[in-house]
Amino acid sequence: MAGKSSKKAVSIDMTAMCDVSFLLLTFFILTATAKIPEALPVDTPQSTVQTKLPETDLATLTIGKGKVFFDLKGREVRKRTLELMGQKYGVEFTDDEKSKFALMEGIGVPIQNLKQLIGMKTAERSKAGQPGVPKDSLDNQLADWVQNARIANIQLNDKELQIAIKGDAKEEYPSIHKVMDILQDQKINSFSLVTGLRGKNF
């Protein structure tokens, strides 16, 4: 009796399991979006709050070393925003440049220099030493970027754009306050602050 049962083959047919697992693997690979390198790396402060940022309808203002970078989610919204900004500042962008801009990371140059930035390769761009989007009262391009991104988002998605501020932990308060002020000038009184995760027993 014992001899008989031990002789029985114990290999299970793995084909179906393999099929399922590869199907799932394919799904996850396709839905995962490649992480775009950050134009301005910042060290965000930590908090215990665990609200996640939305995936769409979001503009991120990255603040670090006194510079502000502007980033926007959604390819179509980016294209439309660029068109609107081009119209306002009299810079003409080609279709090729627009589709390249749609896939780019955050930008930190005045709009007059945006054409050169789009023309660069990704590796060159991160080394280019971008000066940040101008935000003085004389040349407040940051406010226009936010304004036009909101218009573009309403036109395309019919939703109000969310604004997130991603500040460097060591940044001094006035530069954060300045950006908040620009947002408040447009009646954006509610926004998110991007933070990292802190341990429970803080």
Nearer to other proteins, 66 or 131 (CB): 66
Q: How far apart are the first and last CA of the chain?
A: 63
Question: How distant, in Å, are the alpha carbons of 20, 34, 84, 105, 117 from that of 121?
Answer: 39, 17, 24, 12, 8
Contact range with other proteins by CB under 8 A, out of 74-82, 109-117, 150-158, 185-193: 185-193
- Tell me how crowded residue 115 is: count the other CB atoms within 10 A of its CB: 16
CB of 149 to other proteins, least distance (A): 18
> What is the contact mask toward other proteins in residues 45 to 64, using x (rule: CB under 8 A)?
xxxxxxxxx-x-------x-
Stretch that binds other proteins, among 13-21, 71-79, 85-93, 96-104 (CB under 8 A): 13-21
168 binds other proteins (CB under 8 A): yes
Task: Please name which of 119, 149, 180 lies closest in space to residue 58, comparing C-alpha atoms.
Answer: 149
Count of residues binding other proteins (CB under 8 A)?
55
Nearer Cβ to other proteins (43/124): 43
Q: Residue 111 corresponds to which tokens in the numbers above?
A: 């709009």
Q: What is the DSSP string of 135-151?
A: BSSSSBHHHHHHHHHHH
Residue 8 interacts with other proteins (CB under 8 A): yes or no: no
Per-residue exposure over 136-172, b if at least 16 CB sit within 10 Å of its own CB, e if not: eeeebbbbbbbbbbbebbeeeeeeebbbbbbbbeebe
Report CA Rg, the chain: 23
**Piece of the chain touching other proteins by CB under 8 A; list 69-77, 101-109, 133-141, 159-167:** 159-167
By CB under 8 A, name the one of 91, 154, 171, 178 that touches other proteins. 171
What letters, b where the CB count within 10 A reaches 16 and e where it falls short, cover 66-76? ebbbbbbbbee
Minimum distance from residue 95 beta carbon to other proteins (Å): 31
Q: Shortest distance, CB of residue 164 to other proteins, whole angstroms?
A: 6
Binding residue (CB under 8 A) for other proteins from 2, 10, 14, 138? 14
Interacting residues with other proteins (CB under 8 A): 11, 14-15, 17-18, 21-22, 24-25, 28-29, 31-32, 35, 44-53, 55, 63, 164, 166-174, 176-177, 180-181, 184-185, 187, 189-198, 201-202
